[in-house]
Amino acid sequence: MSLELVCPAGSLPALKAAVDGGADCVYFGFRNITNARAFAGLNFDAETAKKGISYARERGCKVLLALNTFPQTTLWNTWQKSVDDAAELGVDALILADLGLMRYASRTYPNLRLHLSVQGSATNYEAINFYHEHFGIQRAVLPRVLSLAQVENVIKNTPVEIELFGFGGLCVMVEGRCVLSSYATGESPNTAGVCSPAKAVSWKQTPKGLESRLNGVLLDRYGADENAGYPTLCKGRFTVQDETYYALEEPTSLNTLEMIPDMLRMGISAIKIEGRQRSPAYVEQVTRVWRAAIDSAKRDATNYAVSPAWMAQLGKLSEGQQHTLGAYYRPWK
């Protein structure tokens, strides 16, 4: 039973925290627009990438590189060079979303392992098998819109390894297809690498409360006793028919600890932790909890039980201090 634990590394300290916490794989991005977490102050240049890869390898941890935005014609060389740099660094796999970039990588570096990013929006086995047939994709990260039964159907009909998100920020959109941020800011996270770019975010204390805006659009207003989250359109509160509420998505975190035995049974290859934009402390704590949970389920899946201590720890790190199974669990079906 594999079920690798794949953890985020938005910085070198976060990478080390994940490795020390028991990650089987870490995933990172370069400090440019080729990755979908291109926030200022995060990510890796060539020097820190070499240090991170060396640190992980010495401790038996694999290193994956996310080149998961979509190249633009005038900037193609940026993405192409990032593939070249990744191959030179010797990463264990590239996580790609764009077909053209997959073709370049598979033809130029036929021995380089390729994973299909969640940004590729492959929600059925026919799509995944297409990527496998034409580009040699060996693993696919599924968007967070499928039920667990649908995921199992995918697994049964593809030779490609399947990776699922297990914990972290939840996206209600089909990843790779969301245009909310680009609608408000003119910059798409699918090309520029950032949902709600920091330069478009503003905060202002008003008599009504602390307001957050994205390119001038009011997303939320917080009371004195409310925690203010990073402003994204999908998690804003809006007035609809005289009622103000989270019209698109409530701030909550995906947490699938209880589903680990099912994932083992189904043959899931890896569980992914979201959070390259989060702190090293977050990465370390989440990694340690998930390492303990996966190891417990592997030892005895029949008697596996979620520890209250695990849930308490993850609860402190969740958006809005709330957990959900997301689309994986649909009791009405």
Residue 264 CA neighbour count, 13 Å, CB half: 19
Whether pTM exceeds 0.85: yes
Give 159's pLDDT tier (boundaries 50, 70, 90): very high
Rounded CA separation 139/122 (Å) = 11
Closest residue by Cα to residue 272 from 125, 131, 171: 171
Residue 135 has pLDDT above 80, yes or no: yes
Closest residue by Cα to residue 146 from 122, 127, 126: 122
Rounded CA separation 261/215 (Å) = 44
Q: Is residue 176 part of a domain?
A: no
Domain with residue 294: its CATH number is 3.20.20.70
Same domain, 101 and 194: no
Same domain, 117 and 158: yes
Same domain, 200 and 69: no
Rounded CA separation 159/199 (Å) = 43
b vs e for 131-147, b when ≥16 Cβ sit within 10 Å of the residue's Cβ? bbeebebbbbbbbbbbe
Same domain, 109 and 222: no
Q: Sort residue 321 into left (φ over 0), alpha (ψ -120 to 50) or beta.
A: left
Q: What is the dihedral of CA 276, 60, 112, 193, to 10 degrees?
A: 10
The larger pLDDT score, comparing residue 196 to residue 270, is at 270
Same domain, 55 and 195: no
Rounded CA separation 259/4 (Å) = 15
Contacts by 208-212, CB closer than 8 A, 24 or more apart: 212/236
Q: What is the pLDDT of residue 1?
A: 52
Same domain, 241 and 301: no
Count of positions (residues) in the chain: 333
Same domain, 19 and 114: yes
Kindly tell me the burial class for residue 111, based on how many C-beta atoms sit within 10 Å of its own C-beta (0-12, 13-18, 19 or more). exposed
Q: Is residue 178 part of a domain?
A: no
b vs e for 180-202, b when ≥16 Cβ sit within 10 Å of the residue's Cβ? bbeebbebbbbebbbbbbeebbe
pLDDT digits (tens, 9 = 90+) for 73-90: 999 999 999 999 999 999
Cβ contact 181:187 at 8 Å: yes
Rounded CA separation 138/198 (Å) = 34
Query: Of 200, 230, 245, which closes a domain?
Result: 245
List the domain range (segments joined by +) for residue 205. Answer: 186-245
Same domain, 135 and 281: yes
Arithmetic mean of pLDDT over the chain: 91
Same domain, 123 and 232: no
pLDDT digits (tens, 9 = 90+) for 260-306: 999 999 999 999 999 998 999 999 999 999 999 999 999 999 999 99
Same domain, 231 and 272: no
How many domains is the chain built from?
2
Please state the rounded mean pLDDT for residues 311-322.
80
Q: Is residue 195 part of a domain?
A: yes
Same domain, 32 and 17: yes
